[in-house]
Amino acid sequence: METKTVAVCMWSLGQGGLPVGTEEALTLGRKVASATGARLHLLVLGSLPDDCVETAGRFGVDDVDQIEDAALEAFSPDAYVEALAGYCQQESPALMIFSQAADTRVVAPRLAGRVGAGVVMNAVDVALGEGGGLQATASAYGGDTQMVYELSGAASYVVALSANALLPEPAEGGATQPGCRSIQVDLTGTNERIRVIEQARTEGPRLEDADIIVSGGRGLGGPENYKLIEQLAEALGGLAGASRPIVDEGWVDSSQQVGLTGKITRPALYLAAGISGASQHMAGCSAAKTIVAINKDPDAAIFRYASYGLVGDCLEILPELIRAARQ
Amino acid sequence: MRIVVCVKEVLDPDAVNNYALAGRLEIGEDGKSLTQTTIPRLMNGFDEQALEAALRLRDAGAEGRIGAVSVGPDAATILKHAAALGVDEIASVLMGEPSPDYHVVASLLAAYIRSSGDADLILCGRQASDDDQGVVPALICEALGMPLVTNARAIELAPAADEPTLRITRVTPDGDEVVEVPCPAVVTVSNELGEPRYPTAARKLAARRMKPEIITPEALALSPEALQPRVVAQRQFVPTVSGDCEFLPGETPAELADALIARLRQESVIS
Ligand SMILES: Cc1cc2nc3c(=O)[nH]c(=O)nc-3n(C[C@H](O)[C@H](O)[C@H](O)COP(=O)(O)OP(=O)(O)OC[C@H]3O[C@@H](n4cnc5c(N)ncnc54)[C@H](O)[C@@H]3O)c2cc1C
Ligand SMILES: Nc1ncnc2c1ncn2[C@@H]1O[C@H](COP(=O)(O)O)[C@@H](O)[C@H]1O
């Protein structure tokens, strides 16, 4: 595989700033581009976020490419895949990097299928292997293991970088002054096949943005005890989260699930009560700065990730924590 | 309407988790396979729910056949489980070594579906619990030119539509979304769909005699390009977890709580 162009792809849907994870994706893109002597592009679908070109420069981007089209104003998988495929046809990037999120989980593998690229999701790194080809490392089994994949056999690759996999690092040699290019792709023939009947509604603040999260798991014993989690979250000025089993049991809404198939969070404080610490749960919170675990089993896996541990019955400790936090 | 459910055999993720935590997960001589024979093999959990979604559609009055297909070295056990649940056709695409990559698996599944009479609905799990990739459904949808709807928690036939149309409730980070999509389509199913049913003893017994149709990759007459792996597993390893937890002292719940809150305030983690 010859690597001439590495493109980081993103869209902000008119939200103003760069979407979360863009700087991380650019950091990885810069690393691969440097190692292979490729040019680094930032491809933006839709309108350019305010600070886009300046940030791109800080991360060493050579060109900011933009595809603007009425069909890209709202998220539409069919139009997005078509636009990206058109870009691939014109620019032949060897590597397309996405920051993994709900939208990119649909678009990235479809793009790979459309253009015949290889695809790796949940990537934590891409680097040159011993043979001189690219290798992607991705988490598996929820993070219990990691897989190293050799990227060979296709002309191009699509990689989605896991949220929280690495820390953003601006380009070493100082900022670049990226040029801006407008790329034309004909999207008149694309009609979104999926019709939205009822939009998802975000109610209130999101776990992904929370600074403090208090989560409860099966160790709470019953749905009536989840209020302890909500009360402690409120006393600490944070939000309440959950492990999957209590979502599956219907104690709390699925939008509160933290983990591999739930929310990927990055709070300053993550307090987990009655949660065992399975890898699939930790995939959604292990990037927290401080993890506190309350568990009656001193050997629970969660203590391996925690900075502070309280061994005991969470039903007894939580009310005391609520009291102490309110004082 | 014909529904095809794609099911994958995986190592029990809970057992893998337990071995990993105990520091006893073994990687084989090839440097990439998990070799412990004590780890049970079972149907990917989300695929069980995809099967459940198919059966619920039938319960709700959708007419037609339901098939289950798996690509792998030996999928008889999970396919018989599918049969015991009420699936009409079971097919096993034999692919042993070298174990195929996602692209090859998707090519085989798409070719099987095409050659076996097409499908109005292809159901998959949202991701396989071993590789967590969640790419095979997207690759199938592109191979067959179908739309893809991910993370369904409920699937029904849309009322009063001219053409067969599905109404799907999807789980998104911002809550549930309801969409409609015309058939044929690929839909992935998430755990929010709820508990899958269990087969009755009688059905289990009957399914034991059912044999999956065996399909070789050659029979599907795929191009060399479609069978060309692109993402080849080289190595698997267990990443290290930091693990320097400080257990806070206290005889009573109140003492423990006070110790924690004091410490978090001292470290300016909370105010
Ligand atoms: C593909 C896949 C994806 C998954 N995705 C997710 C995901 O996104 N999020 C997620 O959370 N899980 C996910 N899981 C499930 C995950 O593997 C675990 O099963 C789950 O996280 C366990 O939840 P838990 O810790 O609440 O329950 P358990 O594992 O049952 O643990 C309960 C804990 O509470 C402790 N306890 C019990 N009583 C008390 C008490 N009175 N006081 C204090 N402690 C007590 C116990 O010692 C135990 O450690 C996924 C699994 C798979 C296979
Ligand atoms: N070998 C396989 N045989 C049948 N279906 C599969 C296979 N691999 C993946 N799938 C389907 O694709 C989904 C996502 O798998 P993956 O992309 O590997 O995470 C699974 O839940 C299955 O429905």
- Assign residue A240 the CATH number of its domain: 3.40.50.1220
A/B interface, count of CB pairs below 8 Å: 263
CB–CB of B269 and A269 under 8 A?
yes
Query: How many CA atoms, within 13 angstroms, populate the side-chain half-sphere of residue A154?
Result: 30
Does A132 or A140 have the greater pLDDT score?
A140
**Is A189 inside any structural domain?**
no
**Is A196 inside any structural domain?**
no
Give backbone dihedrals phi and psi of B236, rounded to 5 degrees, phi first: -130, 140
pLDDT tens, N- to C-terminus, chain B (271 residues): 999 999 999 999 999 999 998 889 999 999 999 999 999 999 999 999 999 999 999 999 999 999 999 999 989 999 999 999 999 999 999 986 667 799 999 999 999 999 999 999 999 999 999 999 999 999 999 999 999 999 999 999 998 778 899 999 999 988 899 999 999 999 999 999 999 999 999 999 999 888 999 999 999 999 988 889 999 999 999 998 877 899 999 999 999 999 999 999 999 999 8
Q: Could you write out the DSSP letters of every residue in A59-120?
A: TT-SEEEEE--GGGSS--HHHHHHHHHHHHHHH--SEEEEE-SHHHHHHHHHHHHHHT-EEE
Global ipTM: 0.96
User: Ligand 1 in contact with A296 (CB < 6 A)?
Assistant: yes
**Is A197 inside any structural domain?**
no
Residue B194 contacts A, CB cutoff 8 Å: yes
Predicted pLDDT at B98? 65
Mean pLDDT, rounded, for A97-125: 97
Number of domains in chain A: 2
Judge whether A268 and B268 are in contact, CB under 8 Å.
no
CB–CB of B239 and A145 under 8 A?
yes
Residue range(s) defining the domain that contains residue A59: 5-182
**Is A84 inside any structural domain?**
yes
Predicted pLDDT at B97? 66
Q: What is the CATH number of the domain that holds A103?
A: 3.40.50.620
User: For residue range A282-315, what is the model confidence (pLDDT) as tens digits?
Assistant: 999 999 999 999 999 999 999 999 999 999 999 9
Are residues A129 and A259 part of one domain? no
**Is A261 inside any structural domain?**
yes
User: Ligand 1 in contact with B134 (CB < 6 A)?
Assistant: no
CATH-assigned architecture of domain B2-220: 3-Layer(aba) Sandwich (3.40)
Neighbours of B201 (CB within 10 A): 9
Are residues A216 and A100 part of one domain? no
Helices marked H in chain A — which ranges?
22-36, 52-58, 77-91, 102-115, 226-235, 244-248, 279-282, 302-305, 314-326
Whether pLDDT at A91 is above 90: yes
Q: Tell me the C-alpha distance between B261 and A185, whole Å.
A: 56
Are residues A216 and A156 part of one domain? no
Domain boundaries, chain B: 2-220, 243-271
Give nearest CA residue, ligand 1 atom 18: A278
User: For residue range A204-259, what is the model confidence (pLDDT) as tens digits?
Assistant: 899 999 999 999 999 999 999 999 999 999 999 999 999 999 999 999 998 899 99
pLDDT band at A164 (very low <50, low <70, confident <90, very high): confident
Predicted pLDDT at B159? 85
Which residue of B256, B267, B268 is the best one to mutate when testing the A interface, meaning the one whose CB has the most A CBs within 10 A?
A: B256
Residue B20 contacts A, CB cutoff 8 Å: yes
Mean pLDDT, rounded, for A273-278: 97
Query: Chain B closest CA to A268's CA: distance in Å?
Result: 7
Chain A residue with minimum CA distance to B192: A248
Whether pLDDT at A7 is above 60: yes
* Parallel, antiparallel or unpaired: strands B148-157 and B185-189: parallel
**Is A285 inside any structural domain?**
yes
Query: Chain B closest CA to A316's CA: distance in Å?
Result: 6
Contacts of A199 (CB under 8 A, 6+ apart): B177
Predicted pLDDT at A302? 96
In order of A2, A121, B224, B229, B232, the CA distances from A153 in angstroms are 12, 17, 11, 6, 9
Predicted pLDDT at B173? 87
Predicted pLDDT at A3? 63
Are residues A219 and A154 part of one domain? no
Are residues A137 and A217 part of one domain? no
Predicted pLDDT at A183? 97
Global pTM reads: 0.96
